[in-house]
Amino acid sequence: MRTTTYFRGPFEETMALLDEARTFMMETEWRDRQKVDGVKGLRITNEAFRLTSRLTQVMSWLMFQRAVYDGEISAEYAMEERFRLSGHDVCLDTSHCNDSVISDDLRSLLNRSHKLFLRIERLESSFVRTALRQYTSSNNDEVGDALSGQ
């Protein structure tokens, strides 16, 4: 199976963050929630879910891109809206990251996952622009329209 550094770095970073997040959830998050009242505990849980959402979205997108790169699926198939990076309203929200109830460990995970999500979002935008240019230049209007959402 072919692999490229283009995907290896973000993939390994995402896997490391997923592992760190899993360890945090198992060992720390529950104890943090027990130390605070109901509403504050819900805010911790909400931010933990945001962390999970970001990492899940990124990993899913990276796996689809790797499948395209390895020739397992077509680029056109991977460009379908249902396989694109999504959940932007949740994943881009940083409004509670500096909340005093959020532990330094969770805040660090949130900040790093947010930066990763932003990088992958830019990477996806670049891929979409490249695909649109390729399809437009080959006069394949039907696929170009589908990729641009028309």
Domains identified in the chain, total number: 1
C-alpha closest to that of 66 among 19, 111, 2, 142 = 2
Domain assignment of residue 79, given as a range: 7-121
Q: Does some domain include residue 144?
A: no
Predicted confidence band of residue 27 (pLDDT cuts 50, 70, 90): confident
Q: Does some domain include residue 129?
A: no
Question: Which pLDDT score is estimated for 7?
Answer: 73
CATH number of the domain within which 108 lies: 1.10.8.930
Work out whether the CA dihedral 59, 107, 96, 36 comes out positive or negative.
positive
Based on its alpha-carbon atoms, the radius of gyration of the chain, rounded to whole angstroms, reads 18
Q: Does some domain include residue 14?
A: yes
- State which amino acid sits at residue 61: W
Q: What is the pTM of this model?
A: 0.82
Residue pair 110/102 in contact (Cβ under 8 Å)? The answer is yes
Structure confidence by residue, pLDDT tens digits, 14-25: 999 999 999 999
CB proximity list for 121: less than 8 A, separation 6 or greater: 85, 88
DSSP string, 49-75: HHHHHHHHHHHHHHHHHHHHHTTSS-H
